Amino acid sequence: MRWIILLAFYFLVDIYGYQAVRSFSKNTWIAIIYFVVSAIVIGNLILQFNHPNEGGTFSGGRGYAIGIFLAFFVSKIVLAVIMLGEDIVRVPIAGIQRIFGESEAFSIPSRRKFLSTVAIGLAAIPFASLLYGMYKGKYDFRVLRYTLYFEDLPDAFDGYRISQISDIHSGSFDNKNKIEYGIELLKEQDSDLVVFTGDLVNNLASEMEDWKTMFSRVNARDGVFSILGNHDYGDYHNWESEEAKTKNLEKLKKTHADMGWDLILNENRFIEKNGERIAVVGVENWGAGGFKKAGDLEKAGTGVDREDFKILLSHDPSHWEQEVKAHEKHYHLTLSGHTHGMQFGIEIPGWFKWSPVQYRYKHWAGIYEEAGRYINVNRGFGFLAYPGRVGIWPEISVIELKKGPKPA
């Protein structure tokens, strides 16, 4: 049924989008090429989703089918909206002319070629952007640096640096050289601690086999700490049995250990320097809106005092909003991921930040602060579904902790 609805909507958008092309030429061959290409795009999408995909829900050919479909479909929606807007004006004008006798017959004015030209020009922007995002944007790694001030930070940790990556989604990768570049960029930051905040794979632990050796090179003076994200549990895969699903999760946990990463599952670790300490607390996935709630903040914080300086690793930022930021133990800094910034948006650092995902998540990318408690929502290292990024680039966060009041 969902395919029928999609096909019907796609067909209507296609017809309206074609009106802009038709304003330039009514050549039959142009029409044939237009609709044949449209049929191939939607046909390939349906074929990919009705063909077994062992590598993960949106990986391989299925991911590219989604990307190409979006590039064409979003562009045609732009065309259709402008053409529909023109019709909203054309039809009433024709009716008025007929009613007041300005014309003997009901005749709709022809489309304006200028408006069709503008429509095609505007439609080319998302089309080119989405194709660029697939070609280059998905591996255009950026290092984003933040300095956060805390009056109760232990003196020994003044200037302490944390590198964060999130949402690797290894089952989507297709270029070892690009991933190696991203890992080397992470290592170059030379931070005291590296943390990974969930979603190592799309579904299957086996997705990491080709990448495990590469990611095992990630290290830091105080180690690499990691947690699980919603995709790591295999909940989006059709398993032959619960036993197979359980074995997959155990294999994934072992992968963290094989890479030398300390996987924290509703637990905590202390880092000590010069007789002082900070706590790193890690919860399993906890997400609002139907996502898995395996995280147990009370259990994770066992043995951690309110006076301890605390860094919480929690995959889904909705956890911070609903449970963490008002918690009596005062979690100073929460590090999350999950949203990917929707892999699409517009950012002008320090001036403007927008993505459709902001209508779903209050905290969706970057640093947020409330009552002296902070959260960083990492935009993700990898990608999922749409195999690209436009405006929201893959991120390595580097956070420096400073002792003292926040500068005015």
**DSSP-assigned letter for residue 266:** S
- Nearest Cα to Cα of residue 360 among 386, 321, 397: 321
Residue 258, judged by CB atoms within 10 A of its CB (0-12, 13-18, 19+), counts as: middle
Instruction: Look at residue 408 and tell me if it is in a domain.
Output: no
- Nearest Cα to Cα of residue 375 among 385, 367, 387: 367
Q: Is there a single domain that holds both residue 151 and residue 119?
A: no
CATH of the domain at 237: 3.60.21.10
Q: Is there a single domain that holds both residue 31 and residue 97?
A: yes
Rounded to an integer, the average pLDDT of 265-274 is 97
Q: What confidence score (pLDDT) does residue 166 get?
A: 98
Is the pLDDT at 137 greater than 60, yes or no? yes
pLDDT band at 106 (very low <50, low <70, confident <90, very high): very low
Number of domain units in the chain = 2
The phi, psi pair for 386, rounded to 5°, reads: -65, 120
Whether the full predicted model's pTM is greater than 0.85, yes or no, is yes
Render pLDDT for 334-362 as a digit per residue (tens, 0 to 9).
999 999 999 999 998 888 999 999 999 99
Residue ranges making up the domain that contains 123:
2-135
Q: What confidence score (pLDDT) does residue 17 get?
A: 86
- Which residue, 135, 151, 175, sits at the end of a domain? 135
Q: Is there a single domain that holds both residue 354 and residue 217?
A: yes
What distance in Å separates the CA atoms of residue 401 and residue 153, rounded to the nearest whole number? 8
For residues 251 and 205, the answer to whether their CB atoms sit within 8 Å is: yes
